[in-house]
Amino acid sequence: MKIICLEEHVSTPPLVNAWTARSLRFGGGPLRDKLADLSELRLADMDDAGVDVQVLSLSAPGLETLPAAEAVALAVDANDRIAEAVAAHPDRFEGFVNLPTPDPARAAAELRRGVEQLGFRAGFMFGRVGERNVDHPAFDDLWATAAELGTPIYIHPSEPPRAVKDAYYSGLGDQDADFMFSSGAIGWHYETGIQLLRLIYGRVFDRHPDLQVVVGHWGELVLFYAERIALLDRSMRPSLDRPLMDYLRQNVSYTSSGMYSQRYLEWTIDLVGIDRIMFSTDYPYIPTIGGGASRAFLEKTPLLSDDDRRKIAYGNWEKLTGKVKSPAS
């Protein structure tokens, strides 16, 4: 059974330089080597995990905190480098179009270039940019372009705003503890879940009903509280076109991000159905994905039929991206 993974990260030398110049935190030591490698080291790790294909995207901290012109140049460079890796290993790599969202117009243009010239089938972004949430009017052309091309957009976690970090996530422990509290432990996931809800309640899907997005970590907390969040439906004036659960089941897909939990899988199946679930390992940040663990999670769980396994492993991704309007399709 082929396994395609969707939240698999890379870095580029120019991007590392930009992060370092701004003292932004990202993987160091062996993690930095794994992020930079687009050949033998990465392929060996994929084999160890039981993964056949990675769909490559930039690692956090991404592009959203950088000046617009710099973000555009770094996105173009990264997308070209990923395209070269895909060309070198076409049976092992695919690519996301990394979007320079500090410049929304150029992000829309880069999405089109990535699809029409590089042959990529999905976009990748890091949520909120400065004072702009994802439902800000500045992003409407990006969402319109994605809907027109049939290109899903993966929304990856990003850091909460500084004021939120200072108010909610500081003073817990030392600097490392505070950073983890504000990021991978929980802060990132609240931040991304809120952005997903803003797409819904900000009426982005009402304006672009064909738009598809993907989020990781089993729904970035939203699915586990969806029935309570739906109380907001009755407060919206005018009403949304559909109930919350319809958007979550019709416009959003979900990946595992290396969180191999039977409970999360069962809950997600129950809430949104098997056709909305795809696979990801969050490479190289999760140490427990190797030793065949990634493949074993899919192949050994009693929750899935053989047809279900194929859908999560590759079928749902191929169906979701099968209508992308590009010369490569």
Task: Look at 33 and 29; give whichever has higher pLDDT.
Answer: 33
Q: Rounded to whole angstroms, how far apart are CA atoms 25 and 161? A: 15
What range does the domain containing 313 cover? 4-320
Residue 325 lies in a domain: no
Residue 39 lies in a domain: yes
Residue 328 lies in a domain: no
CB 26 within 8 A of CB 67: no
Q: Rounded to whole angstroms, how far apart are CA atoms 295 and 3? A: 8
- Residues 92-115 have a mean pLDDT of 99
Residue 34 lies in a domain: yes
Tell whether the model's pLDDT for residue 327 goes beyond 80: no
CB 77 within 8 A of CB 111: no
Q: How many CB atoms lie within 10 A of CB 298?
A: 20
Q: What is the percent of the chain where pLDDT is above 90?
A: 90
Q: Rounded to whole angstroms, how far apart are CA atoms 321 and 317? A: 6
Residue 326 lies in a domain: no
Q: Among residues 94, 209, 202, 88, which one has the least CA distance to residue 139?
A: 202
Tell whether the model's pLDDT for residue 26 goes beyond 80: no
Task: Estimate to the nearest angstrom the gap between the alpha carbon of 191 and the chain centroid.
Answer: 13
- Residues 302-325 have a mean pLDDT of 96
Here the tokens at position 14 are 């120019």
Q: Among residues 71, 68, 54, 76, which one has the least CA distance to residue 19?
A: 71
Identity of residue 270? D
Q: What is the 3-state secondary structure (H, E, C) of the chain?
A: CCCEEEEEEECCHHHHHHHHHCCCCCCCCHHHHHHHCCCHHHHHHHHHHCCCEEEEEECCCCCCCCCHHHHHHHHHHHHHHHHHHHHHCCCCEEECEECCCCCHHHHHHHHHHHHHCCCCCCEEECCCECCECCCCHHHHHHHHHHHHHCCCEEECCCCCCHHHHHHHHCCCCCHHHHHHHHHHHCHHHHHHHHHHHHHHHCCHHHHCCCCCEEECHHHHCCHHHHHHHHHHHHHCCCCCCCCHHHHHHHCEEEECCCCCCHHHHHHHHHHHCHHHEECCCCCCCCHHHCCCHHHHHHHHCCCCCHHHHHHHHHHHHHHHCCCCCCCCC
Span 174-198, pLDDT tens digits: 999 999 999 999 999 999 999 999 9
Span 232-290, pLDDT tens digits: 999 998 999 999 999 999 999 999 999 999 999 999 999 999 999 999 999 999 988 88
For helices 104-116 and 140-149, what crossing angle results, to 10°? 10
- Domain holding 314: CATH number? 3.20.20.140
- Residues 27-33 have a mean pLDDT of 81
Q: Rounded to whole angstroms, how far apart are CA atoms 162 and 169? A: 10
For helices 293-300 and 40-49, what crossing angle results, to 10°? 30
How many domains does the chain contain in total? 1
Q: Rounded to whole angstroms, how far apart are CA atoms 308 and 279? A: 12
Q: Tell me: cis bond preceding 152? Omega within 30 of 0 counts.
A: no
Q: Rounded to whole angstroms, how far apart are CA atoms 66 and 14? A: 12
pTM of the model: 0.96
Residue 329 lies in a domain: no
Residue 235 lies in a domain: yes
Span 166-176, pLDDT tens digits: 999 999 989 99
Residue 248 lies in a domain: yes
